[in-house]
Structure 1
């Protein structure tokens, strides 16, 4: 099968298409012929050497999410059959024509969703659901501030929060404001020209937001905490702005009874990721099928052009997910 590999860490140009052996399905696995593959920032970190030459459990080929058709079912699998349309999270091995996925991290693709679009669901929507509802316990009628709202997880988080009946504040670049508003944001803040803390304070009569979902890290920490209401909860999902030099107002943390969580999916044990997938599926698969929530797709590249997909992500100009698409299987 064709897969994307790299012999040395470096820029996008190190990614090359090569023929490799197809994976073998283990007892709990589905073997899937991929129709679309999600590109994630973790893939860029992998390519640059952030994880070393780690073996991620399923493959040493990069990639974390797939959608496609089941071509083989392991002996211990229940609830799936050959020919089923599935999407889900893999522990490596997505950048290929065939991938194996533990069936407990797979979801049936709803009838109303194409296999192409399904490749943009698992990683971002599961992460967004975990942050908003499992950790931050967001409820209808509460307010939430979501940063990097035009990105993959950000656009998913805005949609889920809106669908759950929350008031959504969202930060993005000014050129992406209308797109983010279209995802369901009530108040869109241009992070380049506006102070999000001042906007949230002004729009909430000084009370602040009940929840903050942050992807930026150290540069936003102090203002994030100051933006939280009494009893507020913040979930840190990424570190796009770096991890050093953060100032934490400890007095506000104490006297406002605040809670701060961190979450990352890639390094979690399989059983934790399985539970995360199932929590999302139980609540939201119906909404995906009906179109009440939808994957946001920026662009699609042939699998062999994975380097171009990485370059697109590194521009910071994308809105939503970037996908890879293997060539159709020969008849």
Structure 2
């Protein structure tokens, strides 16, 4: 089968389309003929060597989310049939014509979603649900601040928060704020021209927000903590801005009864990942079928042009998900 590989870590230029063996079916696996593949920031990190030559459980090949048709099933599989359209998160191996996925990580594609849309759902919406609902415990009537709101997880989080009935503060670059408001944000914040903590304070009368979802890290950390209302929850999902130099306002943490949590899906055990997938599917899958939730697609590239897809993500211009189509 054809797959994207690379001999050495480096820029997007190292990616190449080559012939590799098909994955071997295990007892709990579905074998899926991929039709579309989601691109994630972790793919860029893997290409650059951040994880070494890691095997995340399914393959050493790049790629974490797939959509396609079931072409074979392991002996322990139940709830699926040959020909089913499925989507899900894999432990590597998505950038290929065929991938294997533990059936407990796969879900049926809701009616009305095409393959490209389906490939844009699993990683970002499962992560957003885990951060907002399972950890952040966001409820209707609360306020939430979502950073990097034009990105894959950010745009998913805005939609989920809006569907919950929260007031949504969303930060992004100014040229993307109209799109972010269309996802369901109530207050858009231009992170280049505005101080998000000042905007939150002004809009809430100094009370703050109940939940902050952050992907940036150290440059935002202290202001995130100070932007929280008493009893507020900060969920750290990424560190795109680095980890060095973060300052902790311990007095605010203590007297505000705040909670700070981190979540990274890639490094969790299979059982935890399966539970995350179940929680998401039980709460939200029907809303994709009804159209209440919509995956946000930035651009679609053929699998052979994975390098261009990576360059698009690195440009910082994308809004929503970048997807690879598989012939």
TM-score range, shorter chain: over 0.9
Aligned-partner SS, 2:144: strand
Aligned-partner SS, 1:44: helix
Give CA-to-partner distance per residue, 1:136-155, whole Å, 9 cap, x none. Answer: 10001000000000000000
Q: Which residue of 1 aligns with 2:195?
A: 195
Tell me if 1:160 matches 2:160.
yes
Tell me if 1:44 matches 2:56.
no
Superposed structure 1 runs of 4+ greater than 3 Å apart: none
Question: Partners of 1:32 and 1:310 in 2: how far apart?
Answer: 23
With normalisation by structure 2, the TM-score equals 0.99
Q: Which residue of 1 aligns with 2:237?
A: 237
Question: Partners of 1:306 and 1:113 in 2: how far apart?
Answer: 23
| Pairs within 5 Å for 1:1-331 | 1-327=1-327
Question: Partners of 1:268 and 1:256 in 2: how far apart?
Answer: 30
Give CA-to-partner distance per residue, 1:63-100, whole Å, 9 cap, x none. Answer: 00000010011110010010000000000000000000
Question: Partners of 2:70 and 2:198 in 1: how far apart?
Answer: 50
Q: CA deviation at 1:114?
A: 1.1
Question: Partners of 2:116 and 2:122 in 1: how far apart?
Answer: 13
Give CA-to-partner distance per residue, 1:201-246, whole Å, 9 cap, x none. Answer: 1111110000000000000001000100000000000001100001
Aligned-partner SS, 2:282: helix
Query: Aligned pair count?
Result: 327
Q: CA deviation at 1:25?
A: 1.4
Q: Which runs of 5+ in 2 are unaligned?
A: none
Question: Partners of 2:324 and 2:23 in 1: how far apart?
Answer: 19
Q: CA deviation at 1:58?
A: 0.7
Q: CA deviation at 1:113?
A: 1.1
Question: Partners of 2:9 and 2:169 in 1: how far apart?
Answer: 38
Question: Partners of 2:13 and 2:52 in 1: how far apart?
Answer: 18
Aligned-partner SS, 2:295: coil
Question: Partners of 2:117 and 2:230 in 1: how far apart?
Answer: 39
Q: CA deviation at 1:55?
A: 1.4
Q: Which runs of 5+ in 1 are unaligned?
A: none
